[in-house]
Chain A
Amino acid sequence: MPGVTGEAARAKTELRARFRLATGAYVSALDVARDGSLGVVGLGDGRALGFDLRTGEELLSVNAHDGAVLGVSIAPDGQRFATSGQDPAAKIWARGGALERELPGGGGWVERVAWAPAGGRVATAAGKRVRLWTADGAPIVETEPLASTVTALAWRRDGAVLAAACYGGVHLLPVGAGDETRHLAWKGSLISLAWSPDARVVACGSQDASVHFWRLASGMDSQMTGYPFKPKALAWDADSKLLATSGDAVVTVWDFRGKGPEGSRPLRLEGHKGLCTCLAFSPRKGVLASGAEDTSVLLWEPRRGERPIRFAFLEDEVTALGWHPEHHTLVGADAAGTVCGWEIG
């Protein structure tokens, strides 16, 4: 196994791979269906591949975009998925791989696509505009240009509000009538976005190596600094209590229980030898998966301790991680095109 070192082996047990695919192109996006029946990766050569999460069996392959695929999002019912990439239209595909609809973006790349967890909406972001579509791909609304290019999208769990991050803050865009749009202003270039599952906190990573978050009820915001690099990956645990952040080889976890995390010391998860690039909390049991530039994937139980409990390695920089909803499988992918499914005990 490449790169196995004494240090990483502090996690006693190596993860057992259920399958390992070599797609041959940079894995730039990954999503896992909520029913666990399908995983889809987007690739640097424009393809999207669907696979069975248990066996790795390829279920579909489509040439989705001219350049790299940049976004993949599976509908909550698992019957459709949407892709976007380095060309001017996002696309909605049937589960089997048939193209259902093109969602034009207005000229530039459609860099983001996000299927609402509920309510049958798809959101796309191209340049400074956000567009909403029905699950069939019919246009609903297009925003005015925001302050700058939209860098990240995140839905509130109920699918009623969409968050869009860009330079200057986060825009909260309600889908239904009646709700007001809201702007969480902050002078800085936001590059990542994660909305807590309980809908109370919006967190962003910023270009200037900090994490900024807003408590929506009070409007209070806080900034967590001290990262050596910009935090590109953020992940909330299922209870909305722990926020894991990248921006270093050390994974920093902020604890929102009690009065925290302001003024508290975060958990520091040390194990990677390179910059952390991906984070994903399991929907169950509070297990955190982290991936890094050094090809390592580590599992942690932050509530129990600061040492990794399992490890694995890919072939190149880890570019995506995703959990099976039942917690039995973790999928990881890398810049060399490897897609690996690990069995979780």
Chain B
Amino acid sequence: MKKIPVTVLTGFLGSGKTTLLNRILTENHGKRIAVIENEFGEIGIDQALVIDADEEVFEMNNGCICCTVRGDLIRILGSLMKRKDKFDHVLVETTGMADPSPVAQTFFVDDDMKNLFALDAIVTLVDAKHVHLHLDDSNECREQIAFADVLVLNKTDLVSPAEVDAIERRVRSMNGVARVLRSVAADVPIADVLDVGGFDLDRAVATKPTFLDPEYPFEWAGTFELEEGIYDLSLGDGPDEVMDVVILPLPSGAAAHDRAPADRALRLWAHEAGRVQPGADLAPSEVGPSALDVAAKGPKSFRLRIPAAGRYGLYTEHLPVEYGLALLRGGAAVAPIASEEVTAGHTHDEDVTSVGIHLEGAIDGERLNRWLGALLREKGADIFRMKGILDIHGSDKRFVFQGVHMLFDGREDRPWGAEPRASDLVFIGKNLDRAELTRGFERCRA
């Protein structure tokens, strides 16, 4: 039996939840929708079944905050399944200040709910005019944004386009996976909020090239055409006593700041850096970053041995100008053919962020289980959501899963077929350590 999709509507008071709900209910979409509301609305629509419910958040007896559920939903939805006139979609509207986790967890924790329903998406409405008031002082507001699969920036007519852009940048820096829509009177296409398949990462990847711009641990990426032989990497004095660099061979035509090589550098960054003293040898490496010891005053030089002519990327922890960094060949400076400063993608220092990890090569299912198990035990309260499409060793099918706090649910998906096999894992949460998560995931390689 096909599971009935559930859409959860969250958002602060005044963000436009009821307006969106009314739009969904009056639109001619041919669905019979059961709506679970927290306050008695004045909605009387024939095709919908509107049920008033008190939000009853229950802690499961193990006392773990991550296992709170909505008891009212379990009871009401279980009871609705007995009706003759079955429904094909459920909408749950939460109160303005609600923490979205109990409602989401309900569909993971309770056996009946798990068997009958599937969480389709958490849709969070954001009041473009007032959200900045809440973002800084309300955990609930940040969590509603972090939990969202779809973020609707509503009431954009009340602020300038530049302000909307700023809000969008800010919410994206917190939740890099959600689809962001803009609206005036919650006038978003219904197809963008219902049956969106909240954990369909495919769509996110396909429709959004900037999908999860990672926060890179390097500030500069330079592209060089180099000959075989010895170069000197020369540095003056700078802000730190150590500077990490990665040097990678690039495919011809590629630039160091292109997404694929930059991501390779990012993954290398997750490994232990090898300390290099001035005068010592450096080489392009696929092992990890090199930590250049630049503690000594005055000019310092490192011998870079290039094994074969070609294109190389140099990634530096700090900007080259901060150290007066130069690449020399026989005393003459070699200029990069391209370079890019990699700035942090946001101005606010959010405690809520997203971390996306892309990994090629199959994953060992058991190692992954052990790692995720330990990670969630330790950090489950801080990890709000987790989504992934995984290439599991020994399986021809994609493995897709999503989680809420410590709970997760995965299943085999369609066969990989001709699609390139790879794993994508996304975390949204508080105080996430990108390097540690990346390292952990990499260790799960088969």
Contact = CB atoms under 8 A, between A and B. Distances in A.
Contact of A149 (B49, B71, B83, B111): B71
B54 interface: yes
Given A26-B84, A207-B110, A229-B111, A70 B79 contact: yes
Interface in B66-103: 69, 71-72, 74-75, 79-85
B111 A26 contact: no
B84 A189 contact: no
- B51, B56, B72 — most chain A CB neighbours (10 Å): B56
B110 A28 contact: no
Contact of B79 (A68, A127, A206): A68
Interface of B: 40, 49, 51-54, 56, 58-62, 69, 71-72, 74-75, 79-85, 110-111
A111 interface: yes
10 contacts: A43-B84, A44-B83, A68-B82, A68-B84, A86-B79, A108-B52, A111-B79, A167-B56, A208-B60, A230-B110
A193 to B, nearest CB: 14
Given A86-B83, A210-B61, A230-B111, A111 B52 contact: no
A44 B61 contact: no
Interface of A: 25-26, 28, 43-46, 67-68, 70, 86, 107-109, 111, 127-128, 148-149, 151, 167, 187-189, 206-208, 210, 229-230, 335
Nearest to B59: A187
- B40, B61, B71, B75 — most chain A CB neighbours (10 Å): B61
Contacts of A210: 61
B52 A107 contact: yes
A207 B58 CA distance: 10
A28 B71 contact: no
Say whether chain A's binding surface is mostly helix, strand, loop, or mixed.
loop
Contacts of B80: 67-68, 86
Nearest to A228: B111
A208 B61 contact: yes
A44 B84 contact: yes
A208 B109 CA distance: 10
B61 A26 contact: no
- B72, B82, B85 — most chain A CB neighbours (10 Å): B82
Contacts of A208: 60-62
Given A68-B79, A111-B79, A229-B111, A127 B54 contact: yes
Contacts of A45: 83-85
Given A107-B40, A207-B69, 7 more contacts: A68-B79, A68-B82, A68-B84, A111-B75, A148-B54, A167-B56, A208-B60
Contact of B83 (A67, A107, A206, A229): A67
- A25, A148, A229 — most chain B CB neighbours (10 Å): A148
Contacts of A127: 54
A229 B71 CA distance: 16
Contacts of A207: 58, 60, 69, 71, 74, 110
Closest 5 CB pairs of A and B: A45-B84, A44-B82, A208-B61, A26-B82, A68-B82
Given A44-B83, A68-B82, A149 B75 contact: yes
B52 A189 contact: no
